[in-house]
Amino acid sequence: MLIRYALILHILFNFYMQGNKELPKEPFSIKDFFKHEFKDGKLFYIISIILFCVMFEGRTFLSYLIIVLLLIAYRLISYIKKTINCYKDKLAKEVFIVDNLIRLFILFLIVVFIENGFEPAFFIDYGYIELNYLLAFLLILKPANIIFNIFFGKFKPNDNSDENAGYENAGAMIGMMERMLFIICILSGNFSTIGFIIGIKSIARFEKLSKTKFAEYFLLGTLYSLLYTIFVYLLIFKLYLI
């Protein structure tokens, strides 16, 4: 159960609630990082500690210290990631994967430490089904867009004319709504509706589909959304890995 709470926090703070002020693009010092953390990262620590206090009993000063140090280590990964990206932009995919794997490993350590050293509050084992739904919807929205841009953004056609530009961020919003409809159809067992959704999307883009590059990018995005949604569904609702 606790791993679900940890994953929800991980997704919220890394994909939804990052501070408005980004670290500088050029190489920066560890001092700059801690200034940034104090301004834009304090919400992460406050919420994490509050949840820890509410959900568990048997706390000591040492337990607080260990949790805080693990949380700082979790956040320090972003300093390492951004430092590498300043020097090696071409490693964005590799850095993204390693960054999230290390963060998830640190979260796993926190979960193991807490579960083996503290008594959970009475309510912590309730509502796991609701947490699964929340986790699924959080995963298919903004994180899916970010992952797509990192791995497939290079395939986006460079057509900047006013006639073909479209609204800013409209494609990302369409992708999120598309995945929401996909997972609702999968959860309800209404698989035939998925084809209907893809058909409506194709009609809206019919004229631009005559262009090879856009057609390939359109197909890539649609298949990615469908496969990503199926993967999230299997991971959370069928494989019971979390």
Q: What is the mean pLDDT of residues 160-189?
A: 81
Tell me, yes or no, whether 42 lies in a domain.
yes
Cα–Cα distance, 33 to 195 (Å, whole number): 47
Q: Which structural domain, as residue segments, surrounds residue 66?
A: 2-125
Single-letter residue type at 175: G
Task: Find the angle CA(242)-CA(60)-CA(105) to the nearest 5 degrees.
Answer: 30
Q: Read off the pLDDT of residues 116-134 as tens digits, 9 standing for 90 and up.
A: 766 555 445 556 788 889 9
Helical (H) or strand (E) element with 120: strand 119-120
- Residues 135 and 236 sit within 8 Å (Cβ to Cβ): yes
- For residue 230, is it within any domain? yes
Q: 41 and 75: one domain?
A: yes
- 205: DSSP letter: T
Other beta carbons within 10 Å of 217: 17
Higher pLDDT, 159 or 149: 149
pLDDT in tens, 169-183: 788 898 999 999 999
86 Cβ contact partners less than 8 Å away, ≥ 6 residues apart: 25, 26, 27, 28
- Give a yes or no: residue 130 inside a domain: no
SS3 56: strand
What average pLDDT does range 230-240 have in this prediction?
A: 88
Give 78's pLDDT tier (boundaries 50, 70, 90).
low
Instruction: Specify the pLDDT at position 230.
Output: 96
Site of tokens 């996909």? 182
Sequence-distant (6+) residues with CB within 8 A of 187 are: 233, 237
Q: Are residues 15 and 106 in the same domain?
A: yes
The domain total for the chain is 2
Residues 144 and 121 in one domain: no
- Nearest Cα residue to 99 out of 136, 48, 148, 150: 150
Write phi, then psi, for 2 (nearest 5 degrees): -60, -35
Answer whether 14's CB lies under 8 Å from 44's CB. Answer: no
66 and 95 in a single domain? The answer is yes
Task: Establish if 131 belongs to a structural domain.
Answer: no
